[in-house]
Amino acid sequence: MVRLPDLGSCRYIVRAGQEPEIGSARAISVGGVGSTICRGSTFRCKGFYAECRAVQLFIHILLNLIDCLERSLRKTNTGLIKMLAQQRVVTPRQSAVFRSGKAFVRPARRTIKTNATLKVMIAGAPAAGKGTQCAKIIEKYNLVHISVGDILRDEVKNGTAAGKKAKDFMDRGVLVPDEVVVEMVKSRLAQEDVKQRGWLLDGYPRSASQAEAIEKEAIRPDLFLLIQVPDELLVERVVGRRLDPVTGAIYHLKYNPPPPEIVSRLQQRSDDTEEKCRVRVDTHNANVGAVVGYYKDVMVEIDGTQSMDDVFAAISKALDQAIAKSDPLEAYCQTVPEADECRVYE
């Protein structure tokens, strides 16, 4: 007797010189004729030996093909998930309350990091709110904040070659040349933390010559944010600022009033007068048009007259769109946030 593989609940048996028989647990012969029981029904294969065997082999091959296909799909899905995971790391997610058996659309992320690190420039007139927004961007997107003023002070303090050059000009009361500043910026952007996290270049370039200088060094942003605020509102914001000499806190008489008990000790900074503010605003307006010309293709204008939270919401939207361009999974999840790949279980 030759046994063929079991298929489902039926067992196929072929006896030498006889037609095949079919049985659920075992073959049951009735009067020597190939009649057997399978799943409670009686099948007679006599006279149909070739047809029975062909059906048996066809089913066996079909089941093997289905099994191979399932294994291939599992391998393909595993490879795709690993590839997307390498392109995007999201840490940490905001905590959320788990609801039994339900997934919810991914919450807002605090930190985003992609292989193609984000490069951002932010510009705005004095009192446009740039400093406040920079702090929020750094907290959420973990970019390295780069201020040319801070770089100049650090380079001079550390006595680097570029710092010594800058100190010579500063001691003579002369503006530091663009090529010296660009050298410092280029050096800072080459450091490891910037390579890993991306950068936020704050308030630079401020003129066409500076923009041209860094363009020659291939320093170019993925996104150029320009915070727009009317001149009169800028003046109002500056003139109303007050400094607490004891704590270093800055208040505004209208928008961020100080506690009554400290009002008497508050001071107005010497450059927070209307006259000096208008000079700085006019200088900004005279130069910003030329700078914007270099970054029109990546520029997003932000309405700075809104509340701080609304301004940051607009900035976050622009940053998320910039990230999506370099991360296919982020782009997909912005379009279909309810997809399984975009859901978050806590």
Helices (H), the chain: 49-87, 130-141, 148-158, 161-171, 178-189, 192-197, 208-216, 231-239, 274-292, 308-326, 328-335
Catalytic positions, please? Answer: 130, 206, 241, 269, 280
CA within 13 Å, CB half, 160: 16
User: How far apart, in whole angstroms, are the C-alpha atoms of residue 123 and residue 264?
Assistant: 34
The three-class DSSP label of residue 128 is coil
User: How far apart, in whole angstroms, are the C-alpha atoms of residue 282 and residue 235?
Assistant: 11
Listed residue (5, 41, 37) closest to 21, CA to CA = 37
The three-class DSSP label of residue 199 is strand
Q: Is 309 exposed, middle or buried (0-12, 13-18, 19+ CB in 10 A)?
A: exposed
